[in-house]
Amino acid sequence: MKNVKFIYNPFSGENAILKDLDTVIKTHQKKGYTVIPYRISYDTDIEKAFEDLDESYEYIIIAGGDGTVDTVVNCMKQKNINLPIAILPVGTANDFAKFIGMSEDIEKACNDILSSTPKCMDIGKINDKYFINVASTGLFTDVSQKTDVNVKNTIGKLAYYIKGIEQLPSFRKINIKVESKEEKFHGDMYLMLVFNGQTAGGFSLAYKAELDDGLLDVIIIKAVPLKDLIPLFIKIMRGEHLEGQNSIVYFKSDKIKIECGENIVTDIDGERGPNFPLTIECIHDGIKVLGIK
């Protein structure tokens, strides 16, 4: 018997996965797999999804956005579960699934998963939590946390942009200290992002990021005059490389330490992160993933 654990978030992306449940089961049954589903909800413990795991399970499918994937991966790490994962991108934010080339067509994604072999890839760790795409701090990093779930599921990414505009009056400099072997930064910034993936909110920022190089991509947007940020924002909107911009610091590292004395939050793929001080590190080949192109 070949079993597959299927953990799905029915609330992700306007309930997108619900119409494709049969597709997931059908495509796997054709290949001799039995799909064992577990439905994520607000009143159930994710740990229950793993209570029946035994040697018959081949891998774990996760249907949801980046935050859902993080939740499952963190639970797997806590329980020392080393099964490969596969991601069906059905959430509002699917930055990491796009980075690894997963199709938004569920049947195609399932077939890609079934025809692939597991590949080891890096994951990030921020203090005692893991993340797959990006950890961030500074302005706008709590937009997802403050966005009503029902609104997010109804109008998608537009909800993030609306909430971001609401926060413009709070635009201010934030003093931060960042240290790594490769770079030291102690000064004022607006935003800092530490990528394991490449994109945030659909914008390609960490264009140098790789799946398995053992390094995280760090981007600090410095607190320069707003007029000096305009060229940077234009490059971001166009998807262009960010070299040559005095308003940013961009480097790669396997471990970064961050201190900040101000009352700001951290964010891990749209969910609340730990408090300062932070140690962020790359866990090389930290997880096995199916379906990677």
What's the mean per-residue pLDDT of the chain?
87
The pLDDT score that the predictor gives to residue 121 is 97
Convert the pLDDT of each residue in 84-131 to its tens digit.
Answer: 999 999 987 799 999 999 999 999 999 999 999 999 999 999 999 999
Cα separation, 175 vs 154, in Å, equals: 36
Which of 49, 44, 40, 95 has the alpha carbon at shortest distance from 270?
95
Average of per-residue pLDDT across 208-214:
94
The pLDDT score that the predictor gives to residue 257 is 98
The pLDDT score that the predictor gives to residue 158 is 40
Pairing, β 57-64 against β 2-8: parallel
The pLDDT score that the predictor gives to residue 136 is 92
The better pLDDT of the pair 292, 167 is held by: 292
Distances in Å between the Cα of 234 and the Cα atoms of 93, 207, 220, 229 are 22, 16, 17, 9
Cα separation, 137 vs 149, in Å, equals: 21
CATH architecture of the domain with residue range 129-284: Sandwich (2.60)
Taken as a whole, the chain contains a residue count of 293
Give the side-chain half-sphere CA count within 13 A for 120: 8
Cα separation, 275 vs 61, in Å, equals: 31
Cα separation, 109 vs 290, in Å, equals: 10
Structural fold of domain 2-116: Rossmann fold (3.40.50)
Cα separation, 220 vs 129, in Å, equals: 21
The pLDDT score that the predictor gives to residue 157 is 45
Which tokens hold the place of 281?
Answer: 């590190």
> Would you kindly state where each structural domain of the chain is located, as residue ranges?
2-116, 129-284
* CB 263 within 8 Å of CB 140: no
Cα separation, 112 vs 108, in Å, equals: 6
* CB 77 within 8 Å of CB 35: no
The pLDDT score that the predictor gives to residue 162 is 39
Which of 191, 31, 226, 195 has the alpha carbon at shortest distance from 110?
31
Convert the pLDDT of each residue in 159-198 to its tens digit.
Answer: 444 344 445 445 678 899 999 999 999 999 988 999 999 9
The DSSP code for 275 is P
- Report whether pLDDT(145) > 50: no
Cα separation, 66 vs 191, in Å, equals: 20
Band of pLDDT at residue 141, cut at 50, 70 and 90 = low
* CB 124 within 8 Å of CB 132: yes
Cα separation, 108 vs 59, in Å, equals: 18
Query: Other CB atoms closer than 10 Å to residue 212's CB: what's the count?
Result: 13
Which of 250, 252, 277 has the alpha carbon at shortest distance from 266?
277
Q: What is the chain's Cα-based Rg? A: 19
* CB 167 within 8 Å of CB 143: yes
Q: Say if residue 169 is preceded by a cis peptide, omega within 30 of 0.
A: no
Band of pLDDT at residue 148, cut at 50, 70 and 90 = very low
The pLDDT score that the predictor gives to residue 201 is 77
- Active site members: 271
Considering the chain, what percentage of its residues have pLDDT values greater than 90?
Answer: 66
Q: Look at the alpha carbons of 266, 268, 273, 274 in this order and tell me if their dihedral is positive or negative.
A: negative
Which residues are 37's β-sheet partners?
A: 6
- Report whether pLDDT(154) > 60: no
